[in-house]
Amino acid sequence: MKKIQLLVVAILCMCTAQLFAGGISGYVTDSKNQGKSKVRVTVKYGDQTNYTYTRSNGSYVIEIPATYAGVKARVYVSGTYVTRCTIPKEGYNTVNAKLK
């Protein structure tokens, strides 16, 4: 019974890992290169929009479903357009932003 439970957990982990292609990650800093917390970072791709808020050190990660690998994405920080990038098949594209 324990082997079956472990097998089910392993299969679920593999399925979950394949749901996400990768995503966009990076840092948001101020003019003194200090990480800014609680800053909204938005990624728009296809007909989808995902957002998150930066952590206390200014870092963020937005995971994107595998079905969007290769799609162009637009990245916004606090509502201001930052750049355009391609969603990777795996791993993360890094987009850093500096607030004025």
Distances (CA, A) of 72 to 5, 29, 90, 100: 40, 24, 15, 26
Q: What is the pLDDT along the chain (100 residues), one digit of tens a residue?
A: 555 655 555 555 554 445 666 899 999 999 999 999 999 999 999 899 999 999 999 999 999 998 999 999 999 999 999 999 999 988 999 999 999 8
Residues ≥6 apart with Cβ < 8 Å to 37: 53, 54, 55, 56, 57, 58
Helices (H), the chain: 2-19
CATH fold group of domain 20-98: Immunoglobulin-like (2.60.40)
